Structure 1
Amino acid sequence: SARRAGEDGAARQSVGVMVQELSDVGASRRFIRRIAHLHVYFARVAQTG
């Protein structure tokens, strides 16, 4: 039924929010690592160029 689907959707949404927050922590770490890598890369390019 529609009501049951709505409840499932709400539960799935709250779980999704938890997963999103957890993945955001991992994503921010990855993002910081990528920024650091790019920073080193651009510094190296700037030196050689």
Structure 2
Amino acid sequence: MFDDEYYWALIIESIENRSHQGNYAVERLISRWVERRVREIYRGK
């Protein structure tokens, strides 16, 4: 699995230039990762 920095870079890039606009696979991947991270943070990991 990729580390957090990879995903943050991907999210920032997508916000800055919309390079993956319409690429729903990438958006789903980011969404799943964000949801998992939020759950881990709230569980105290």
- Please, what TM-score do these two structures have when normalized by structure 1? 0.45
- Please, what TM-score do these two structures have when normalized by structure 2? 0.49
Q: Which has the higher contact order (CA 8 A, sep 6+)?
A: 2
| Higher Cα Rg, which structure | 1
